Amino acid sequence: MSLPSEVDVAIIGAGAAGLGAARALETSNLSTIVIEARYRIGGRAFTIVASSSDSPTAVPNITFDLGCGWLHSADRNSFVRIAEQLDFEIDKTRPPWREQGFDAVFPPKERADFIEALDDFYDRAEVAAKSGRDSAASACLKSGNRWNPMIDAISTYVNGAELDRVSILDMDAYEDTGINWRVRRGFGLLVLTYGAPCPRAVNTKVTLIDHSGKRLRIETSQGTLIAGKAIVTVPTNLIADESIRFHPALPAKVDAARGLPLGLADKVMLALDRPDTLPKDGSLRGATMRTAMGSFHLRPFGQACIEGFFGGRFARELEDAGGGALAAQAIDEIVALLGSDFRQRLKPLAGSRWAHDPFARGSYSHALPGHAGARAVLAAPVDGRLFFAGEATSPNFFSTAHGARDSGERAAREVVAVNL
Ligand SMILES: Cc1cc2nc3c(=O)[nH]c(=O)nc-3n(C[C@H](O)[C@H](O)[C@H](O)COP(=O)(O)OP(=O)(O)OC[C@H]3O[C@@H](n4cnc5c(N)ncnc54)[C@H](O)[C@@H]3O)c2cc1C
C-alpha cells in the first residue's frame, strides 16, 4: 500500500506494538496506516528458515527466531490467545535455562551452588527494591562471591546489559510468572500473521513529526502525510539519538528514552551433524566463571542444530568484530566443552546483529540506575495527539513482544478515549 495523503491515526513502526495498536483500532471507525521503515513488518520479531546447501550432511530447514522466541509469562501473555486463534501450535516444553546437558562440564554440586547464589541475588534485589531507592543492581551482588561473574552473565541475557547498568527498581517491576512457552512455527511468524490485516506502508522511514499546527505533518522518505494523531512505537535508541525528530522538540521524551537504552542480545544458529548424540532441548553454558560467554540451546524443538545466545558488552564486541565472529566464538566454546570433533560437526547458518540494525540499534530496553520512572514518562500522551507505545513503555512486561503488543493496545484505547 502506498502512503495516503491524510489519515486519522498514523502509527509509526510495524513491530508488535504498532501492529497491536492497528488491530485494536480496526473497529474504531478511524482511518489508520502503519508506517514502517523496513521492507517487512514484525520489527524485532523475525522468524527465518535457516538452511545450508554446502553442509557436510543434508541440513533440514531450521526455524530460527532472530528476535523474540519465548512466550514469557505465558499464563499472562496475550500472544498465547492469538496463537490459539491463528492455529499456531504452542510448545510447552520447559526451558532448559537452569539445567546443563553435561555433568562433566558443570558438575551438579557446582550447579546447585550457582543456582543458590543466583536466587540469593534475586532475593537481595527484591528486598533492596522495597526501600524505593534506586541504584545499580550490581550493588546486590555479595562482595567476593565467586559466582558474581556468572550472575552478571545472566543479566546480559535477560537485560542485554551488565548489572552495573541496570536499575534495581526497574528489574523488580518486571513480572515473571516463571512460565515460558514457544511457538513451533516461530514467534516472528506469529507476529507477522497477526499483523497481516493491518493497512501499512513499508519502506517508509519517518524522519519528522511536526505537531506545531492544527494537524500533524509527518515527513517520511516517501513524502508527507497529514494526520490527526500519531502513535509512535519506534525503539528508544532511535528517539534518544533523534533519528526521528519532533517539532516542537520533546526533550522529556528524549531524556526518558536515553534512560531506557536498548541492551544487546544476539543469537547464532549452527547446523549440527549427527544430532542424536546431544539431548533435545538441552542446555550448555560456554564457561562457568566469567561474564563473557555464550549460552547454548541444544537441538531446539529436536532440530539438528544448536542456538547460541550472547549478551551485553561481549555481544557488542563480537558484533563489532564483523560477520562470522559470533559463530566462530560459539563454535570455539562448544569445542572447548564437548570436544574437537564438534568443529567438523557444526556449521554456521545465520545470526543476528541487532546493534548494527539501523531500525533497532539494540535488542531490548532496560532502565539505567535512577531511571526506573522513565517508562511512565515515555508512555504519557502529549497534547491529546501524540501517543507512545513499544516494549519500553510497558510498566511490567517491558523488553518483551507481548509487553509491546499490549502497549499498542493501550495507546489505541487512549486515542479512542480522546475521540469520544
Ligand atoms: C535477540 C532477541 C531476543 C528476544 N527474545 C525475546 C523473547 O524470547 N520473548 C519476548 O517476548 N521478547 C523477546 N525479545 C524482545 C522483543 O522482540 C521486543 O521487545 C519486541 O519485538 C519489540 O516490539 P516493538 O513493537 O516495541 O518494537 P520493534 O519490534 O522494534 O518495532 C518498531 C518498528 O519501528 C520501525 N522503525 C524504526 N524507526 C522507524 C522510522 N523512523 N520510521 C518508520 N518505522 C521505523 C522498525 O523498523 C520496527 O519495525 C527479543 C529481542 C531480541 C532482539
The one-letter amino acid code at 343 reads R
223 sits in which H/E element: strand 223-232
By the 8 A CB rule, do 387 and 232 touch? yes
For a substitution probing ligand 1, which of 76, 90, 234, 352 has the most ligand atoms within 8 Å of its CB? 234
Of all protein residues, the one whose alpha carbon is nearest to atom 7 of ligand 1 is 68
What is the pLDDT, as a whole number, of residue 73? 97
- Find the 367 Cα to ligand 1 centroid distance in Å: 17
Could you tell me the distance, in angstroms and rounded to a whole number, from the CA of residue 209 to the centre of ligand 1?
A: 21
Q: DSSP letter at 169?
A: H
> For residue 163, what are the contacts with CB-CB under 8 A and spacing of at least 6?
136, 137, 138, 140, 141, 151, 152, 155
| Ligand 1 atom with least separation from CA of 265 | 1
Is-contact 187 79, C-beta < 8 A? yes
Of 63, 68, 181, the one to substitute when testing ligand 1's pocket (max ligand atoms within 8 A of C-beta) is 68
Q: How far is the CA of 353 from the centre of ligand 1 (A)?
A: 13
Residue 2 pLDDT = 84
- In the three-class reduction of DSSP (H, G, I as helix; E, B as strand; rest coil), residue 98 is classed as coil
Are the beta carbons of 128 and 168 closer than 8 angstroms?
yes
Residue nearest to atom 2 of ligand 1 (CA): 67
Cβ atoms of 233 and 1 closer than 8 Å: no
DSSP H helical ranges for 196-250 = 236-240
Instruction: Locate all alpha helices (DSSP H) within 49-130, ordered by sequence.
Output: 78-85, 108-130
Distance, C-alpha 30 to centroid of its chain = 30
Cα 419 to averaged position of ligand 1 atoms, centre (Å) = 28
Residue 181's pLDDT is 97
Minimum CA distance residue for ligand 1 atom 11: 400
Q: Could you give the 3-state DSSP secondary structure of residue 365?
A: strand
- In this prediction the pTM is 0.97
3-state secondary structure of 332: helix
Q: What are the pocket residues of ligand 1 if the criterion is a CB atom closer than 6 Å to any ligand atom? A: 12-18, 35-38, 43-45, 67-70, 72, 205-206, 233-235, 238, 244, 265, 267, 352, 354, 359-360, 363-364, 390-391, 399-402, 404
Rounded CA-CA distance 340/326 in Å is 18
Residue 390 φ/ψ region, left for φ over 0, alpha for ψ in the -120 to 50 degree band, beta for the rest: left
Q: List the residue whose alpha carbon is closest to atom 53 of ligand 1.
A: 363
Cell numbers for 115, please give them: 543456582
DSSP string of 237-283, one letter each residue = HHHHTTSSEEES--HHHHHHHHTS-EE-EEEEEEEESSGGGS-TTEE
Mutation probe of ligand 1 site: the residue of 364, 387, 388 with most atoms within 8 A of C-beta: 364
Give the DSSP H or E segment for 309. strand 305-311
Coil, strand or helix: which one is 315?
helix
**One pLDDT digit (tens) per residue for the chain, 420 residues:** 789 999 999 999 999 999 999 999 999 999 999 999 999 999 999 999 998 765 555 567 899 999 999 999 999 999 999 999 999 999 999 888 777 667 767 888 888 899 999 999 999 999 999 999 999 999 999 999 999 999 999 999 999 999 999 999 999 999 999 999 999 999 999 999 999 999 999 999 999 999 999 999 999 999 999 999 999 999 999 999 999 999 999 999 999 999 999 999 999 999 999 999 999 999 988 666 789 999 999 999 999 999 999 999 999 999 999 989 999 999 999 999 999 999 999 999 999 999 999 999 999 999 999 999 999 999 999 999 999 999 999 999 999 999 999 999 999 999 999 977
Report pLDDT for 55.
53
Tell me how far the alpha carbon of residue 402 lies from the centroid of ligand 1, in angstroms.
Answer: 11
Compute, in angstroms, the gap from residue 239 CA to the centroid of ligand 1. Answer: 14
Q: Could you tell me which residues come within 8 angstroms of residue 250 by beta carbon, excluding any fewer than 6 positions away?
A: 382, 386
Residue 329's pLDDT is 96
Task: Show the cell assigned to 187.
Answer: 514467534
Sole residue written with cell 488491530: 23
- What's the pLDDT score for residue 57? 53
Indicate which atom in ligand 1 lies nearest the CA of residue 360.
30
pLDDT of 97: 78
